[in-house]
Amino acid sequence: MLKLGRLTDYATLVMTQLANEPCSADAASHSATRSAHDIAQRAHLAPPTVAKLLRQLARAGLVEAERGAYGGYRLARAAAQITVADIVTAIEGPVALTECATAHSRCSIQQRCGVRGSWRLINAAIEQALQAVTLQQMADSERLLFVRLRPATTPVVRAGTPPAATP
């Protein structure tokens, strides 16, 4: 079964948390900084896991760390300029469904393989799909989901009347 690793899933959640941080007044920075502990609490993840992910994301150039009493992490560039493919690659390495899909393949039969070309096409399609979705879109869809799930108003139920059916 084709499946991204748990850490990659967590990394998208961490990045979405950073993308949802309101922009600061400083035009040079893309968002205010957040501590790893704060991100972990908001994402409901273990702080050591978040710290590990933030180090990997920083090495990949997706987040920046600011030291000091008011330091923390922020996106290295605008959320609209970061793709899901960037996040996946930062945590898992290049997208490669099969060994022959990588640039430095070590497959012993790749020269005479009858399906190598097809696997490369499939790999390219998946990579294009991951590149087509930005972190901003992920963050926006998370906010929209939260708004849809939250009741618009709290229904008032009077004693002796059954609650109204919800659509």
User: What whole-number distance in Å separates Cα of residue 91 and Cα of residue 163?
Assistant: 48
Averaged over 137-166, what is the pLDDT?
A: 59
- Amino acid, res. 162: P
- Alpha carbon 38 to its chain centroid, in Å, reads 17
**Which of 56, 132, 50 lies closest to 91 in space, CA to CA?**
56
- pTM for this predicted structure: 0.76
Which listed CATH number (1.10.10.10, 3.90.76.10, 1.10.940.10, 3.20.20.80) goes with 6-144? 1.10.10.10
Stretch 142-153: mean pLDDT, rounded? Answer: 54
Contact assessment for residue 2 and residue 97, using Cβ atoms and an 8 Å cutoff: yes
Residue 84 has pLDDT above 70, yes or no: yes
Higher-scoring residue by pLDDT: 111, 60: 60
Q: What's the pLDDT at 27?
A: 41
Of 36-40, 43-47, 117-121, which gets the smallest average pLDDT?
Answer: 117-121
Over range 56-60, report the average pLDDT: 98
Q: Which of 22, 132, 133 is nearest to 75 (CA)?
A: 22
**Dihedral of CA 140/144/150/152: which sign?**
positive
